[in-house]
Chains A and B, each alone.
Chain A
């Protein structure tokens, strides 16, 4: 068998980064921090955060660590800011600043049109090091619905000498917390005025380098027992309490105009099947209402009225979900407004700390079997399919008087992870090839195609396929990308016809086919399941002989069946690959990498053919 060296080594620009290397033991530090943060919760479900920071900036790279940014909106007010910077080599104070010296700017979001998020910020400019910067800040929060997580180490390459968190609260309001990766101490003290003081002290924390895993960060998550937002009170001792509050906050905001109700009823008239009814109304929502991000004060938690969404034909996730809920109710289908921490790569929430850990809303439609899930901000996904953004995680279903925590589907069976395809190629004497390829993708793999079809124009789509072809040099002449919804399964059919420049390499004696089987990527394993079936029929130029034995490969293990067969018949190379893979969700990253390596080594072989009449130089 031939042995190929350095077949894929690339520099980025000139060089690229490699992922694996021993991390040096020594990690430098650019600043040294001593901080005390005091959160004082009031009887009126409000709180202030006061920070006293002493930061020694060791060098120029640590200057960013002295950057102060204080968020504010209608619910948060910046009360105080004082800064004093001292040149430690001379002992002279070189800069002083107060609240009035801070700059003010909108926190600019390209996605959010309606928002009032702003920050006041101050940037220290000096080159005198070492430098001591003393900073005091105070912000007032008119609701205790949400507390920022306390993370004592703010930056990579920062040494924390000491960081203290004090939380003072009246027992009538209460506090709950969760500690993660703490190394220091925690105490509780009853103050003479009856309030309770919790104190955490972390000292001499290890300096974090760029490869530090955020999961390992030291932190304290805080949540209230009782809370109120804009006068609407609730309890957060359990998930039920939070769910009940959310339900209450949206109560009465689902009313729809009579004319609209009639329209809804007409749409589902004569349709009995619940999935079909949901699907019809979901399609109606997707076609007629567009997503607009709205982040205004309490609007962050409370939905727009359904009638306003109808009036304007737009809404944010809350508004669109609330409208869909109302539409379903009109059609006699109860549905539940559900809170979720969305994001393709987000960690799951801390399920043992009931608190507001959510940033998005979806809809759950209970049925006799599995519930139907609806992502109401998407105008692409089929009813019952949640995309990467919200699948496979804990969510809070809200109902009148309570609610419960449950998980969204993970779509990790074969059924949701299917790829099948055939390709036929004909190579000419120069090594160029004509190709016709047909590929069917189902479930998770079709989601990407849906996005592609929606967001890229035809030229960009062609470029995407050219670029992502396992063989470089593909120029698509004609193609068809058809995305569909088969009930709740997204499907995509991709067919293309084109030309591959230099598909085969010619040497003096040989024609070499570079690896053409697509690589199995980490993303393809992200759903823990893969059902792949593909075949290639490659017509070779005349006068070639197979040089090496075309060995077939088979793997049959628990959770992994792979078959790769090769044969040359009537001047055609026939290659067929099947992979059936089901891996445990909790599989370690390293094991996944090993598995990928194994799978790809099988597929990344070149095919060598000798010419009957060699060329000469």
Chain B
């Protein structure tokens, strides 16, 4: 992935106003004595201190980085290998110099400092404009303090790298300073729980400083869709710069706005799309002259165009919202990234007179699934389309090679986006409606041959259906039989599998299948568990506690209906009790009911996620809830052979 580049020609010099608060090789008693982190006692290493100091110099941003890490356990010694990646591009956009590193070991309490020699620092060209500086610390022991510093210059002063205060190990203190010179005006945006609550902030004479302390390590948790959205961060975007005096005695310096409002930001992005030809109708119309996109309605036409792209273009997995290819090479190679294909699709729709525009979004995991309400470009990372078809709005996205028309990648289901229309760009709410539910109907009989037969119809809607479609496609691509949809179980035979993909027309996939199992001769009791195949028959939440919210992605319901026909010669002996449970706030609910009538036991269970985001404070309740659900879904119905007197 390439970095987006905004380079402004600005030439001014300001002196540094900073003095380093922490100096290499000068340790506090706390640094030396620390053997464990109070809030993460089993951490194998800790960032004692890290700081970044940014200043502008000759039109560049120069940031001095300094890190101090202590090794607390044997497994933490891996921290002795450090990699610093930076983007050079074609024009040394970023550059790193002045790497210094030392390791200090304490022998009988006395520090023994060793400088890391040049033979242990080297630079690797990774490819695609990226390089990596690597430091290998010698003599890394438990108790060692590793320190390294370097300077990075960056030509991109429109969108600054900013600072991430959190690491994958705990951080005792992380500080970032930037001196904003009078000639530049930046917009700043912060993120994270601590950032808004306990940050020590300072600002005077253009100097801004943030210090965050006692930060937990960042670790992925299950059911977490937007990991990066929780990082403690601060970012910057240029809002205006002083272009110089207009020359007269009376006029002051002239300020030029940079992406200062949504319209300007929109126009900036659109100008790139325009430059690359995505708004030129000529090449598009010429290319698709012989393709039949006709239809009775706008929706029909748009569908034809969408499926044409899906069937005839290759999707590359590199994403973003800046297309690399121009329209002509894209049309020639028929291969492009999602944003390129989306823009080309827009071109086709527009050429047919359909109203269509790109929408920038910050997908889940990009760090900004909740947008900030001012024109901050970095919060966006993907593009979808909005098209008005026969008076109704549709969201379109070509990022999934098998998704039906109107489906948008789930990570793009965010609350708002930036509609890009020349001189009219504005934030719009996004509401992609879908009911990705699951309905399962099961009919259980016991044959005369003593075989339990379960005839099932599983109907999966929308994005749940798409999941099934993906597995089915993978099987087809790998030339595997459709029976492999199911996990093998001892003694159970799957047969009569029939998968009907009606996603495009009806938004569901129906999977019919039969499961059979023989009953041994002479059994007097038969236990039948008709619902143990369900998604939540095993509790997915095994972690002791939760740092981040549980995110189910979207609201949904799974409904199960099983009819067990009691065969002749048997009677119903026992079955699970009716139950209805939820957690405080009612974000998730489960109901289970069982009735017996006319020789049939009817079980209906419903698992419903009403609010997909569940806060960590509710995690113990959720965990117990899910365990109860799992237990209930695997509870048996017991039939007993009638003994003749």
Contact = CB atoms under 8 A, between A and B. Distances in A.
Contacts of B126: 105-106, 108
B334 A127 contact: yes
Nearest to B135: A113
B74 A63 contact: no
Interface string B430-472: 0000000010000000000000101000101000100110010
A475 B626 CA distance: 13
B182 interface: no
A9 B623 CA distance: 22
A28 B140 contact: no
B542 interface: yes
A472 B539 contact: yes
A271 interface: no
B372 interface: no
Nearest to A17: B484
Interface in B468-523: 468, 471, 477-481, 483-490, 492, 494, 515, 517, 519-520, 523
B128 A105 contact: yes
B120 interface: yes
B197 interface: no
A314 interface: yes
Contacts of A61: 477
B contact patch SS: mixed
A12 B471 contact: yes
Contact of A501 (B80, B545, B627): B627
A63 B519 CA distance: 50
Interface string A277-313: 0000000000110101000000000000000000111
A437 to B, nearest CB: 16
Interface in B301-354: 312-314, 316, 333-335
A510 B640 CA distance: 14
B486 A125 contact: no
A106 B542 contact: no
A128 B127 CA distance: 29
B458 to A, nearest CB: 8
Interface string A471-506: 011111000000000000000000000000110011
Interface in B579-628: 594, 623-624, 627-628
Interface in A1-17: 1-17
Given A8-B532, A17-B487, A510 B141 contact: no
A142 interface: no
Contacts of A13: 467, 471, 535
Interface string A400-440: 00000000000000000000000000000001000000000
Contacts of B128: 103, 105
Interface residues of B, number: 96
B489 A114 contact: no
A127 B134 contact: no
B471 A15 contact: yes
A3 B314 CA distance: 52
A142 to B, nearest CB: 22
Interface centre among A24, A27, A314, A431 (most CB of B within 10 A): A314
B125 interface: yes
B562 to A, nearest CB: 11
B533 A11 contact: yes
Contact of B525 (A2, A292, A457, A473): A2
A100 interface: no
A617 interface: yes
B537 interface: yes
Contacts of B537: 10
A507 B523 contact: no
B624 A24 contact: no
Nearest to B624: A501
Given A9-B489, A106-B126, A617-B578, A455 B543 contact: no
B533 to A, nearest CB: 4
A209 interface: yes
Interface in A88-105: 103-105
Interface centre among B78, B481, B487, B489 (most CB of A within 10 A): B487
Contacts of A506: 577
A23 interface: yes
A18 interface: yes
Nearest to A453: B75
Given A126-B333, A292-B81, A507-B577, A24 B481 contact: yes
A2 B527 contact: yes
A11 to B, nearest CB: 6
B138 interface: yes
B489 A8 contact: yes
A216 B403 CA distance: 38
B471 A5 contact: no
A505 to B, nearest CB: 5
Contacts of A597: 490
A508 B636 CA distance: 11
Interface in A554-607: 597, 601, 606
Given A11-B533, A11-B535, A27-B479, A18 B487 contact: yes
Contacts of A7: 529, 532, 634
B157 to A, nearest CB: 29
A232 interface: no
Interface string A497-532: 000011001111110101000000000000000000
A21 B577 contact: no
| Interface size classification for chain A | 35 or more
A454 interface: yes
A467 interface: yes
B202 interface: no
Contacts of B127: 103-106
B529 A210 contact: no
A4 B515 CA distance: 14
Interface centre among A209, A312, A467, A606 (most CB of B within 10 A): A312
Nearest to A292: B136
Contacts of A104: 125, 127
A68 interface: no
B275 interface: no
A18 B126 CA distance: 40
Contacts of A189: none
A21 B574 contact: no
B528 interface: yes
Interface string B52-95: 00000000000000000000001101101101000000000000
Contact of B488 (A19, A24, A105, A314): A19
Interface string B120-135: 1010111110001010
A1 to B, nearest CB: 7
B125 A106 contact: yes
Interface stretch (A238-246, A324-332, A386-394, A458-466): A458-466
Contact of A6 (B44, B517, B630, B638): B517
A14 B627 contact: no
A313 B139 contact: yes
A5 B631 contact: no
Interface centre among A3, A6, A28, A467 (most CB of B within 10 A): A6
B378 interface: no
B122 A5 contact: no
Nearest to B77: A290
A237 interface: no
Given A6-B492, A127-B313, A473-B627, 5 more contacts: A5-B527, A10-B537, A14-B460, A459-B543, A615-B577
Interface of B: 40-44, 74-75, 77-78, 80-81, 83, 120, 122, 124-128, 132, 134, 136, 138-141, 312-314, 316, 333-335, 438, 452, 454, 458, 460, 464, 467-468, 471, 477-481, 483-490, 492, 494, 515, 517, 519-520, 523, 525-530, 532-535, 537-539, 542-545, 573-578, 594, 623-624, 627-628, 630-631, 634-636, 638
25 contacts: A2-B526, A3-B527, A4-B529, A5-B526, A5-B528, A9-B486, A12-B487, A14-B467, A16-B486, A18-B485, A20-B488, A21-B480, A104-B127, A113-B81, A127-B313, A287-B74, A287-B141, A312-B136, A462-B543, A467-B542, A505-B576, A505-B635, A507-B576, A507-B638, A615-B577
